[in-house]
Amino acid sequence: MSTTETGHVTGTKDKDYNILWFTEACLDNALRLETFIQDAEREGDNELAEFFKKAQNDSRKGAEQGKRLLASRLSG
């Protein structure tokens, strides 16, 4: 665990950068999982497709939570 704030490098405090990173990672994951779902469906592997759909839904939820948290912190 780092005890040094590195926001001077990015211009954004670490804690705010972390929220931004988390949100972007969740959105990117949801997009990537769409390809995985299509691959599984093309192969007729419904179990795997459902597994990826659940993971995609969880990524969307994480992104929505991150966006809400970020919005509340930027407006307040």
Tell me the pTM: 0.84
Measured between alpha carbons, how far is 15 from 26 in angstroms, rounded to an integer? Answer: 17
Instruction: Give tens-digit pLDDT for 4-55.
Output: 888 788 888 888 899 999 999 999 999 999 999 999 999 999 999 999 999 9
Q: What sign does the CA torsion over 55, 58, 62, 64 have?
A: positive
Cα–Cα distances in angstroms (integers) from residue 20 to residues 4, 24, 37, 63, in the given order: 19, 6, 26, 10
| All residues at 6 or more sequence positions from 20 whose CB lies less than 8 Å from its CB, including other chains | 12, 66, 70
